[in-house]
Amino acid sequence: MVLIASYNIRKAIAADRRRRPERILDVLAEIGADVVLMQEADRRFGERHSAIPFHMLAEQGRYRAVPYDIRHGSIGWHGNAVLVSHAVEIVRHQPFHLPALEPRGAVLADLRVGGRDLRVVGMHLDLSGLVRRRQARAILAQLDEQTEALPTLLAGDLNEWTSGGCLRDFGGHHVPVPLGPSFHARRPVGRLDRMFVSRGVRVEASGVHSSMLTRTASDHLPVWARIAIG
């Protein structure tokens, strides 16, 4: 079994409007996932460095970041990052370029967990419904261009409040994972954080991780899925 989490960390800005990366790390320790797909993982302004300082990630000792190495000091690509535990092997990785009115992207990582290969895609889609659908189709097209087909899990903050839109695009190719409302963290009503899986991935359990800590660490709650590969 592999535990995957997806979490919009809001640049590590907590409910008190202060940047508290240590709270995000505490949340990740609380969940204990093997793989974490993060959104808003980089700061918005200036050098856009990682919202979680690399030395704090190293000191925690559980995770390492998939090294996209596109922007110095960034942990990912346009705020999308993938963290893996030391039991997970990073096989290959690449960024996805997306059509957008503002800088947006997605990230792919091919991983090996317990001798089995898994492809994960992390994403944070636009606020505009029309742009979201273009971005969803761009992600699916770039997945189709991969030289090797692998069992795949896609996850992230889709910014989709309805049951249609980009959900219909992803749902035409992948199976949606049952998840509950994850936004706003203090009183969640929106199902903005989503997961989808391809053939070859079996979801054993899934949900939203809600605790006293997660309700103050970000404006989103993390979502998770326990999966079997193959």
Give tens-digit pLDDT for 47-71.
Answer: 679 999 999 999 999 999 999 988 8
Q: Is the pLDDT of residue 210 over 80?
A: yes
Structure confidence at residue 103 (pLDDT)? 74
Give tens-digit pLDDT for 157-204.
Answer: 999 999 899 999 999 989 999 999 999 999 999 999 999 999 999 999
* % residues pLDDT > 70 (the chain): 98
Structure confidence at residue 47 (pLDDT)? 63
Give tens-digit pLDDT for 159-169.
Answer: 999 989 999 99
16 pLDDT tier (thresholds 50, 70, 90): confident
In angstroms and rounded to an integer, the radius of gyration of the C-alpha atoms of the chain is 16
- The region of weakest confidence among 19-23, 67-71, 85-89, 146-150 is 67-71
**Which residue segment(s) compose the domain that 100 sits in?**
2-229
The CATH number of the domain where 113 resides is what?
Answer: 3.60.10.10
Give tens-digit pLDDT for 95-130.
Answer: 999 987 777 889 999 999 999 999 999 999 999 999
C-alpha 53/C-alpha 202 separation (Å) is 34
C-alpha 229/C-alpha 184 separation (Å) is 31
Q: What is the mean pLDDT of residues 205-212?
A: 97
Residue 118 has φ and ψ, to the nearest 5°, of: -140, 135
Q: Is the pLDDT of residue 45 over 70?
A: no
- Residue 77's DSSP bridge partners are 80
pTM confidence score: 0.96
Mean pLDDT taken over the chain: 94
217 pLDDT tier (thresholds 50, 70, 90): very high
Q: Is the pLDDT of residue 46 over 60?
A: no
Q: What is the side-by-side strand order in the sheet with 81-85?
A: 63-65, 81-85, 35-39, 2-8, 223-229, 201-208
Q: Is the pLDDT of residue 25 over 80?
A: yes
- The structural domain count of the chain equals 1
- The region of weakest confidence among 46-55, 85-94, 137-146 is 46-55
C-alpha 200/C-alpha 43 separation (Å) is 35
